[in-house]
Amino acid sequence: MSLIRSSLVVGLGSVASRILGFARDVLFAQALGAGPVADAFLAAFRLPNLVRRIVAEGGLNPALVPALSRLEPHEAADVAGDVLGAFGLALLALTGLVEIGAGLLALLLAPGLHGDGETLALVALYTRLSFPVVLCVTLASIGGAILNLRGRFTATALAPLAVNGGLILALVVLEFGFSHALAQKAAWLAAASSLAGLSQLIIVAAALLQGGSGLVLLRRPRWSPLLKRLLVAGLPVLAAGGAVQIFFLAATQIASFWPSGVSWLYYAERVMQLPLGLMAGLSSGLLLPELARRHWAGDRQALVSAQNRALEVALLLTLPASAALLILARPISAVLFERGAFESSDAEGTALVLMTLSLGLPFATVAKVLSQTLFACGSLRAALAAAGFGLAVTVTGSLLLAWPLGPAGIALGLSLGCLGHAGAVILGLQRFGLWAPDRQIQARLLRIAAAVLAMSSGLLGAGRILPQVQAPALAALCLCGIALYALAAWMTGAVTRDDWAALTKKS
């Protein structure tokens, strides 16, 4: 399969999942609003959703792909079966502990609610109902990594749609089929998320076992040095691969001290995650296996060149997205979420948070792409150190900026954390002699910046003409912005015919 076809499969799956996620969150806002029940549900939903996003974006791939890629197919099938069995048992035990200790976990997830026993009890209830999704999506992610390694991308790209699709179905049924109090609606939604995760696991399992493909041998796990390394590395890999998601978890804990802070941060993050999640899925699903192959072939120059080209693509997509979110934050928040229980003041608060989050989007993407090189080379310690530094900057910046600026200050601290994370990853690459931006990427970055400036000028001008932007006008603005950016990118040379020819080459 050519690189462009593989990219389209993974990319379309990621985009479809994000679009369904948007629809889900629009319905969340309509059904739950941004009050105490919404804060309780979203605080509880944050942890399983964090794990789901990390593993859906290939968070375990850095540990699995390099290890399995060095084995013969039959050996890889044996090890894959051991990994699935061992992780399954470990996750079952973890789920049991969460069900027992949900009350304490609720206090850790939302410390700002410690004085509100009723809301904190709801956090514990929703945590118990939604946490089983972690078991399902993690095992599905391991299966997806095995499929991706063998060049089978369709099932892993489409399976995550089951989670958002299932939640949307539950929301529609609850909103239009039954009449429940807010707390009851949230409880049903938490339970529905676990059932939707089970459907995702079933889809991936069917693809793994289709026609006796021999991709995995299910059996009682056999302890081996390789399995031990994978289990020991599992948590650090998730932490390093899902650094930005962990930054958001820490920020949510701080935001719980502000009324509606958890909800505003959640809804703004969901908008930001559309471009970021797309790049994360492409990086871990396509870039990591390619970098791992070049690393084990000993071709350092080709590895650095692939890294630079991937960074060009990432910036080509995320720099205009960052500028557009900054400019259109208010109409986006109003059009997507301002209905039902979600009031105008909530839309305004969400817009301010989105504006400050958009500043960190390019840095989050740069760190995500460049981290794949560290993972491919087995430099987990450097990736983990970079994630730890970014988390420290996020917590410090959010605490310092929250008191004068409220939730928007927390979001600004998050953006600073993304900047610190990207800088730390680059320093890690320099240590290994793997950071060498060539003239091509420098020239491309200048052309991209010029195209983004042209697009931003057009959006600002249109915003003055249309001060009250409704859904049709927002859609028109987005389409015109995309068209203007595409034209400017072509005119400035940020995108050329040679790029298309390079993408369609066999991988």
**Mean pLDDT score, 143-147:** 76
Residue 350 confidence class, pLDDT cut points 50, 70, 90: very high
Cα angle, residue 118 at apex, residues 116 and 120 outer, rounded to 5°: 70
Residue 128 confidence class, pLDDT cut points 50, 70, 90: very high
Question: Of 105-119, 279-293, 492-506, which one has max mean pLDDT?
Answer: 105-119
Measure the CA–CA gap between 158 and 141, rounded to whole angstroms. 12
Q: Is pLDDT of 217 > 70?
A: no
How much is the pLDDT for 227? 72
Measure the CA–CA gap between 339 and 471, rounded to whole angstroms. 12
Q: Which one-letter amino acid corresponds to residue 479? A: L
- Scanning the structure block, which residue is given the tokens 């817009």? 351
How much is the pLDDT for 253? 87
Structure tokens at 292: 């791992």
Reported as a single tens digit per residue, the pLDDT across 406-459 is 999 999 999 999 999 999 999 988 888 888 888 888 888 999 999 999 999 999
Measure the CA–CA gap between 428 and 441, rounded to whole angstroms. 20
Reported as a single tens digit per residue, the pLDDT across 51-103 is 776 665 555 666 676 667 666 767 777 777 788 888 888 889 989 999 998 88
Q: What is the DSSP letter of 506?
A: B
- Scanning the structure block, which residue is given the tokens 């320093």? 427
- Scanning the structure block, which residue is given the tokens 């988390």? 391
Measure the CA–CA gap between 504 and 507, rounded to whole angstroms. 8
**Mean pLDDT score, 280-309:** 64
How much is the pLDDT for 495? 78
Structure tokens at 177: 């089929």
**Mean pLDDT score, 324-344:** 85
Q: Coil, helix or strand for 2?
A: strand
**What backbone phi and psi angles, to 5 degrees, belong to 108?**
-70, -35
Dihedral sign, Cα of residue 216, residue 220, residue 222, residue 223: positive
Measure the CA–CA gap between 496 and 443, rounded to whole angstroms. 13
Contact 336, 271 (CB under 8 A): yes
pTM: 0.72
Q: Which one-letter amino acid corresponds to residue 280? A: A
Measure the CA–CA gap between 149 and 72, rounded to whole angstroms. 12
Residue 397 confidence class, pLDDT cut points 50, 70, 90: very high
**Mean pLDDT score, 120-132:** 90
Burial of 289 (0-12, 13-18, 19+ CB in 10 A): buried
Q: Is pLDDT of 285 > 80?
A: no
Contact 459, 327 (CB under 8 A): yes
**Mean pLDDT score, 32-37:** 79
Contact 49, 25 (CB under 8 A): no
How much is the pLDDT for 4? 47
How much is the pLDDT for 408? 93
Q: Coil, helix or strand for 156?
A: helix
How much is the pLDDT for 77? 75
- The residue ranges of every structural domain in the chain are 27-241
Contact 275, 318 (CB under 8 A): yes
Q: Is pLDDT of 18 > 80?
A: no
Between these two residues, 179 and 368, which has the higher pLDDT value? 368
